[in-house]
Amino acid sequence: MKKAYNFNAGPCVLPQQAIDAAIAALQDFKGTGMPVISVSHRSKEWEETMNECRALWKELLNIPDNYEVVFLGGGASLQFLYVAMNLLENKAGYLETGVWAKKALKEAKGIGNAICIASSADKTYSYIPKGYEIPKDLDYFHITTNNTIYGTEIKYDMDCPVNLVADMSSDIMSRPVDVSKYALIYGGAQKNVGPAGVIFAIIRKDILGKVSRYLPTMLDYRTHIEKESMFNTPPVFPIFVMTETLKWLKGIGGVEAIHKINVEKAQLLYDEIDRNPLFVGTAAKEDRSIMNVCFVMAPGYENLQDEFLAFAKERGMVGIKGHRSVGGFRASLYNACPKEAVQALVACMQDFEKLHK
């Protein structure tokens, strides 16, 4: 079988342990004689899995007791609407650091008074804005902690004078997070914690029920908290794989352990980008993401882009082409991406350099 090194930005590489468990569950889920995709979500066996998944989230992120974790369909893009519907009463502020942050702001503007507090659009979202003030009259302040297209990341938990809401789709579980500093954390599973098809939302319960608008039942977070994410049929298979992925993460030492590994992987690749005269990074060095490493051919070598992509593909590199809106290259180093893959990409870049010295 051909060796492939998966750097896709999502759906992500998953741990083999989770894949093997998924294959087994497709044949027989917990001795039921049925595959997990056919089992009733009201069965005792499935309720055990839901409870286990929720417990793993709370344990791995040390989530305080006044928060609830829900699992829903619709993707993080639907959460842009959920957030505004549930929290925006008077005014909300958004930090615009990329495409997804901009889309989140657009959805909020459709609900009420939502404003951009700071933006890095002036330099193609290549940095995280700094030195801005967060108005104290906001219902909430929304950030996107990691920007997959541009390779920037907010790698700390900021102090915020208002409710802090974070889209952590692409860096959740990659580093320790002080959940108590956030009112709400949400994201798609398909970067670090599972396959596409399910989102997570970590919600501080006291922020809900404050808006005067009518909330459709399905768009009210309280509905899903009360029904333990099973008001309607949940995305069963993605939740099962997410559970197995979190079991793998716990088994290797949890979030603290994977953070050390992630930093090592990212540094290995950034060091090569900075050393190799054929390549140059696109994100401000102080804001470089440890999840999505974005780079381009250096000035004078732009004509080699397609050649390098073909060269890398021959050596098993998958998914390193940059997002269609920016071009260049992007290597996504999510939790389950092994260090071996990064080492192979670095060797590939070094071999390509030798051809063009």
Catalytic center residues: 100, 167, 191
Q: Edge-to-edge strand order for the sheet containing 199-204?
A: 67-72, 199-204, 184-188, 164-167, 140-144, 92-96, 114-119
297 conformational bin, left if phi > 0, alpha if psi -120 to 50, beta if neither: beta
| Tally: H helices and E strands in the chain | 9, 14
Task: List the beta bridge partners of residue 68.
Answer: 203
Three-state SS annotation for 178-203: CHHHCCEEEEECCCCCCCCCCEEEEE
Provide the Cα torsion 254, 256, 262, 264; round to 10°: -130
Per-residue tokens: 182 = 């956030």
User: CA–CA separation, 113 vs 121, rounded Å?
Assistant: 21
Task: Please report, in angstroms and rounded to a whole number, the separation of the first and last CA atoms in the chain.
Answer: 33
- By CB atoms closer than 10 A (0-12, 13-18, 19+), residue 183 is buried
- By CB atoms closer than 10 A (0-12, 13-18, 19+), residue 265 is buried
Residue 82's nearest CA partner among 117, 108, 115 is 108
